[in-house]
Chains A and B, each alone.
Chain A
Amino acid sequence: AQSVSQHNHHVILSEAASLELGCNYSYGGTVNLFWYVQYPGQHLQLLLKYFSGDPLVKGIKGFEAEFIKSKFSFNLRKPSVQWSDTAEYFCAVNIPYNQGGKLIFGQGTELSVKP
């Protein structure tokens, strides 16, 4: 069965620090990849997605992610975090064209940014 693993449960950074959140998935075929974010008290929102093409994808609020097929990874990065980036971040995959498009999520990484 497909699975998604996020390396860190909780990351604490100071403002202006660089961020990298790890995500690995297990599936040998073609996947769609997503990062969702959940700000405190808000619902899950799409941060960025990768379907095909350039493996470096840019999302909202200065976030980007790189798909490395050989490593089954889709790590999220931001060069300089802000206090407002404090949130929980979820990596997710789905299998295109079958399985109804259900998303398989990682366990999430809670990011706390200190002002």
Chain B
Amino acid sequence: DTGVSQDPRHKITKRGQNVTFRCDPISEHNRLYWYRQTLGQGPEFLTYFQNEAQLEKSRLLSDRFSAERPKGSFSTLEIQRTEQGDSAMYLCASSLEGDSVQFFGPGTRLTVL
């Protein structure tokens, strides 16, 4: 399967701990997006990269959140000092520059106890 992959699929952590998620986009896609989805809501945009450059961050992305895409391939999303309100599904998507169609991964479900 050459789609978008995310790891881990599930993460349970205690409040105050740091967590890191990984996303591997479709190999030829140079744009990578992170979204967050809570129960009963649609995905909300967090940030996106074009190659290794982080070009936009949502106001939803507090200082505790950081994302990287160091070599323009996979990306990581780190949440420091997790809070219960961070519990959500974190989705990654990728696309080609100039193509508006985004392909989504299976998501990482985070539960903060």
Q: What is the interface of chain A, defined by CB distance below 8 A to chain B?
A: 4, 6, 9, 32, 34, 36, 42-46, 49, 51, 90, 92, 94, 96, 99-108
Contact = CB atoms under 8 A, between A and B. Distances in A.
Given A101-B102, A107-B42, A108-B42, 6 more contacts: A9-B40, A90-B42, A99-B56, A102-B45, A104-B45, A107-B40
B44 A105 contact: yes
Interface of B: 4, 31, 33, 35, 40-45, 48, 50, 55-56, 91, 93, 95, 100-107
B40 to A, nearest CB: 7
A108 B45 contact: no
A103 B43 contact: yes
Given A107-B41, A108-B40, A108-B42, A100 B50 contact: yes
Given A44-B91, A51-B100, A100 B55 contact: yes
Nearest to A103: B102
A96 B42 contact: no
A44 B104 contact: yes
Nearest to A92: B42
A96 B101 CA distance: 11
25 contacts: A6-B42, A32-B100, A34-B100, A43-B4, A43-B104, A43-B105, A44-B91, A44-B93, A46-B103, A49-B101, A51-B100, A90-B43, A96-B100, A101-B31, A101-B95, A101-B102, A102-B45, A102-B48, A103-B33, A103-B102, A104-B45, A105-B43, A107-B40, A107-B41, A107-B42
